[in-house]
Amino acid sequence: MLGRDDSILVTGAGGFIGGHLVRRLRQLGHTRIRAVDVKPLDSWHQLHTSADNRQADLRVRAACDGVMEGIEHVFNFAADMGGMGYIETHKAECMLSVLINTHLLLAARDAGAQRFFYASSACVYNADKQSDVDVTALREADAYPAQPEDGYGWEKLFGERMCRHFMEDFGLETRVARFHNVYGPNGAWRGGREKAPAAICRKVAESVLSGSGEIEIWGDGKQTRSFTYVDDCIEGTLRLMQSDVREPLNVGSSELVSVDELVSVVEDIAGVKLARRYDPSAPQGVRGRNSDNALISEKLGWEPSTPLATGMAVTYDWVRAQLSRGGGVA
């Protein structure tokens, strides 16, 4: 359904997942890509000069109208977010992202766009179902009754409902993916917005380069998660966008590991063993979270399959390279 000459808008294109999507669309031969982010172009994680790159604050309705002109398909990744250390301490800023999705939906409706993709999150899931490290994998129905992550999770759940009602009331075809802990190269790796995989890669690399022989871990290391390599995230996004699935779908790995096990994976990649210091006072989120992939397998005949060790090897090599040369976008 995405023709190579169709006009495509990618918001949040200067961010992690948005930048990877623009790259993939270019690889697939798409020629009319408008990439938008609130950050200056020289602060984008990836900048593809063949795209129509624009800086705009999409919290403002007029900005959304401006970037939507002539657009047929929308991928909305724009949001104020980061890892647990950020979203637990910036709840209001995260919730203000409701302005982005609301104004983009209005602009898409008024401009006659055909399809609208919304990047949601596993943070929408009911916290009571994530209180044990031996968590039962989360099915899409587990978002209700609603008790999402305070701030960021509520914003994402509200965005999902807006997409549903714009489809029901205005006929705008919307697609919603609930991403589970996406990681990979060309993302935040320092500065406070990085997520656990990038943070652990950085900490291990710092220990290797400094010779300190130790690593600090947030929490007790027993909290569990599944982590989704960015290439799988992009593949799932494109498959969902071009499907007839109108309900939210998990796009996440089902490979559950503890944070301690994630550290061990990176240690093996780096060829080191580090002393571990635990900080139980640091933000750590829910106790356990995993993706149930029964529905995406049924609906799309596909699910994320990149092994954690494979994706983390690429991520560690990239983070260590950034750290070694002291450059790159934080």
As a residue count, the chain comes to: 330
Which tens digit of pLDDT belongs to each residue from 6-24?
999 999 999 999 999 999 9
Give the pLDDT band (50/70/90) at residue 327. low
Distance (Å, rounded) from C-alpha 236 to C-alpha 300? 9
138 secondary structure, DSSP code: B
Q: Are strands 275-279 and 214-218 parallel, antiparallel or unpaired?
A: parallel
Neighbouring-strand partners of residue 32 = 7
Between the two ends of the chain, the Cα-to-Cα distance in Å is 35
Neighbouring-strand partners of residue 249 = 177
Neighbouring-strand partners of residue 54 = 36
Tokens standing for residue 10: 């990618």
CA 178 and chain centroid, separation? 9
Statement: residue 330 has pLDDT above 50: no
Residue ranges per structural domain of the chain: 7-183+230-251
Which tens digit of pLDDT belongs to each residue from 234-277?
999 999 999 999 999 999 999 999 999 999 999 999 999 999 99
Catalytic residues: 152
Q: For the chain, what is the radius of gyration of the CA atoms? A: 19
Measured CA distances, 256 to 201, 225, 233, 236 (Å): 18, 5, 17, 19
Tell me which residue has tokens 């750290």.
323
Which tens digit of pLDDT belongs to each residue from 188-208?
999 888 999 999 999 999 999
Name the CATH topology of 7-183+230-251.
Rossmann fold (3.40.50)
Chain-wide mean pLDDT for the chain?
95
Look at residue 88 in the predicted model and tell me its pLDDT: 87
Which tens digit of pLDDT belongs to each residue from 50-105?
999 999 999 999 999 999 999 999 999 999 988 888 888 999 999 999 999 999 99
Which tens digit of pLDDT belongs to each residue from 226-241?
999 999 999 999 999 9
